[in-house]
Amino acid sequence: MVRLAACLRAVPLLLMVPVGHASAQGREDPLRPNWQTYHSTAATQALLEGWAREFPQLTDLYAIGETLRGTPLMVLEITNEATGPAGEKPGYYYDGNIHAGELTGAEVALHFAWYLLSNYGTDPRVTRLLDSRTIYVRPKFNPDGADVALRSDETLRSTPRPYDDDFDGLLDEDPENDLDGDGAIVSMRVPNPDGQWKAGDVDARVMLRREPGDRDGTFYDLLSEGTDDDGDGRFNEDGTGGIDMNRNFPREWGLEFEQSGAGPYPLSEPETRATIEFLNAHRNVTGVFHGHTAGGFLYRLPSTGPWDAFHPFDQRLILELGEQYRLTTGQRVVPSYSDPRAHRHGTLISWAYWDFGVLGWVPEFWGGFGKDYDGDGRVSESERLRWNDEELRGAGFVLWKPFMHPQLGPVEIGGWKGRFTRQNPPPHLLEGEVKLYVPWMLWLAEVSPRVVIRDVQVSPIGDGLTKLTVVVENEGYLSTNITKRAVEARLTPPVRVGIVLQDAELVSGARRLDVGHLAGSRDTGGGDRLADSRRTVEYVVRAQTASAAATITVVSEKGGVSRRDVSLDGR
């Protein structure tokens, strides 16, 4: 990893930022960020650096790698170092914006980091969390792609790395085009007697599917705005980039014919490789929050493979933690994979479970595209247009207008500006969206295991010998192994208790003892913590001087480290 001082190289600036977005040159106060704007990579970097300056006792800012363009992949590590090193506390990993146009993910992660830092010392819940846990926040998983998505209106899911989407030997040769120069790439409706679309009778902006046998009226083909740049008869089929990085992870990775956008091989992208290397280097991470848009719901496991492949213990845990999301956000929770026709290869949350032993989550932010005015449980296109007219004052939809297309002849250009209506909240609605997820994000980190030395008894037993009785406990909610998968695949070592003596000799007991995994209060009912959450370890030592002492250390990969210094004369 490259620390802050080594990574403050020039970050690509965001040019021609649309109105309502943070400028790279703006002097945003890091203590009072604007949550009604979308931050470029440069603006994000400025916030992270500002927080690192303002909260040096709580933060460590570093790069875990860089993109093909040399942009640092930044992580903000947040914990109170005065209560112990970051790596010796249970951790949680939060990221966002792996898909370029899914900009809300970066804002949710940024807002969460700011919320923690600005409330430490005044909010007891946040203070307890940062005193006992470590939070890793990575707002811009895909910084280069996110900047392209902010700079242009082209549909983009990947990084800008050139890619041959249509296997014609050319790279990015047929992107969408802003033909009328209005700054928005929308849709084209092309008159065609055999077309499958027609304009609505009540509202001509609405495009309706043609019914079988319908022969009355004008029919259209619907295309995205652009030209057939490579002359292959298809429009806009090979735009900027093309690798879907959430299909590029090694668990159940599939070739392109199995999973479009998978890339040439697992972890072919520096962003995905840096993710796996970071998590493997931070074994204290107890879960993965992987922010996406849109839809306003949570994808839970399974993401790859059937539900029956999961241990029943893990099934119950997935459902329980997902239910907490529903309770705090009011949004539904659905499996990422349940239909064999929708198999998802190579996702981060699959790798996190099967190869790292923790649970991962994919919140799909922003379910506010339109409004259910009639209360029938669905949002129709007419209701979306009404929402656009009333909430956005018409700004989210381009009215259809004639255009002479160089290849198709007379067409009409219009439709939704999808980036900040369908895919992300309009900027003035962003603040309410990012605040919504804070309670669940806090809770995910709070329920981690946490090992402590509950008690040490020092008992002289004669002949210069002293007996030490050490009670070790997991006071966290989850078990120290998190999942049964971690135990079965030997992904997480057992809890270990060690003793180091000063001016004393160990007569009986092991200098290092594996005591197995410890249950959390979830498994013990939260009442009396019986054998499953506690272990008792005994030593007999012989003091050699009056200053003889012992240091007891308990180490749990996911539950942190606890130490206790003991005077062997009982003081």
Indicate whether 126 and 261 sit together in one domain.
yes
> Does the residue 391 lie in any domain?
yes
Residue 461 pLDDT > 50, yes or no? yes
Q: Are residues 461 and 442 in the same domain?
A: no
Residue 2 has pLDDT above 50, yes or no: no
pLDDT tens digit sequence for 124-145: 999 999 999 999 999 999 999 9
Residues 228 and 246 in one domain: no
> Are 114 and 31 contained in the same domain?
yes
Please compute the mean of the pLDDT values over residues 179-207 and round it to a whole number.
95
Q: Is the domain of 105 the same as that of 44?
A: yes
**Residue 14 near residue 42, CB atoms below 8 Å:** yes
Dihedral class, residue 97 (left if φ above 0, else alpha if ψ from -120 to 50, else beta): left
Q: pLDDT at position 259, please? A: 86
> What domain range is 560 assigned to?
451-567
pLDDT digits (tens, 9 = 90+) for 358-394: 999 999 999 999 999 999 999 999 999 999 999 999 9
Q: What is the pLDDT of residue 570?
A: 55
pLDDT tens digit sequence for 93-122: 999 999 999 999 999 999 999 999 999 999
Q: Which helix (H) or strand (E) holds 207?
A: strand 207-209
Rounded to whole angstroms, the Cα distance separating 261 from 248 reads: 8
Q: How far is CA 404 from the centre of its chain?
A: 44
Q: Is a pLDDT exceeding 50 seen at residue 54?
A: yes
- The angle, 0 to 180 degrees and rounded to 10, between the axes of the packed helices 104-119 and 427-436 is 60
Are 179 and 413 in contact by the 8 Å Cβ rule? The answer is yes
List, for residues 166-191, the tens digit of each pLDDT value.
Answer: 888 999 999 999 999 999 999 999 99
Q: What is the mean pLDDT of the chain?
A: 92
* C-alpha–C-alpha distance, residues 250 and 347, integer Å: 8
Nearest to residue 471, comparing CAs of 510, 529, 547, 549?
529
Q: Cα(125)–Cα(117) distance, rounded to whole angstroms?
A: 12
- Cβ within 8 Å of residue 267, ≥6 positions away: 248, 249, 250, 273, 276
Asked if residue 556 belongs to a domain, the reply is yes
**CATH number of the CATH domain containing 482:** 2.60.40.10
- Rounded CA separation 51/29 (Å): 10
Instruction: Establish whether the linkage from the previous residue to 294 is cis, with ω within 30° of 0.
Output: yes
| CA dist., res. 273 & res. 150, Å (int) | 25
Number of domains in the chain: 3
Same domain, 128 and 41: yes
- Inter-residue contact 503 to 482 (CB < 8 Å): no
Please check whether residue 157 lies inside any domain of the structure. Answer: no
Q: Rounded to whole angstroms, how far apart are CA atoms 203 and 127?
A: 54
- Indicate whether 313 and 434 sit together in one domain: yes
pLDDT of residue 300: 97
Q: What are the distances in angstroms from CA 250 to CA 163, 341, 454? A: 20, 20, 40
Task: Name beta bridge partners: 116.
Answer: none
pLDDT tens digits, 214-252? 988 899 999 999 999 999 999 999 999 999 999 999 999
Q: 437 and 462: one domain?
A: no
Tell me, yes or no, whether 438 and 468 share the same domain.
no
- Let me know whether 264 and 196 are in one domain: no
Within a domain: 159: no
Rounded (10°) angle between helices 124-132 and 438-446: 40
- Give the pLDDT confidence of 533-549 residue by residue, as tens digits: 999 999 999 999 999 99
CATH code, domain carrying 46: 3.40.630.10
Assess whether 203 and 312 both reside in one domain.
no
Other CB atoms within 10 A of residue 107 CB: 28
Q: Rounded to 5 degrees, what are φ and ψ at 307?
A: -60, -35
Answer yes or no: is 174 within a domain. Answer: no
| Beta carbons within 8 Å of 316's beta carbon, 6+ residues apart | none
Say which residues have a Cβ less than 8 Å from residue 241's Cβ, sequence separation at least 6. 100, 145, 148, 156, 157, 158, 159, 160, 161, 162, 163, 172
Q: Say if 295 falls within a structural domain.
A: yes
Q: Assess if residue 162 is contained within a domain.
A: no
Are 98 and 243 in contact by the 8 Å Cβ rule? The answer is no
pLDDT of 258: 87
Whole-structure pTM value: 0.93
Question: 476 lies in a domain?
Answer: yes
3-state secondary structure of 211: coil
**Strands (DSSP E) found in 130-183:** 134-138
Residue 362, helix vs strand vs coil: strand
- Domain co-membership, 389 together with 435: no
Mean pLDDT of the region 18-44: 77
pLDDT tens readout for residues 60-80: 999 999 999 999 999 999 999
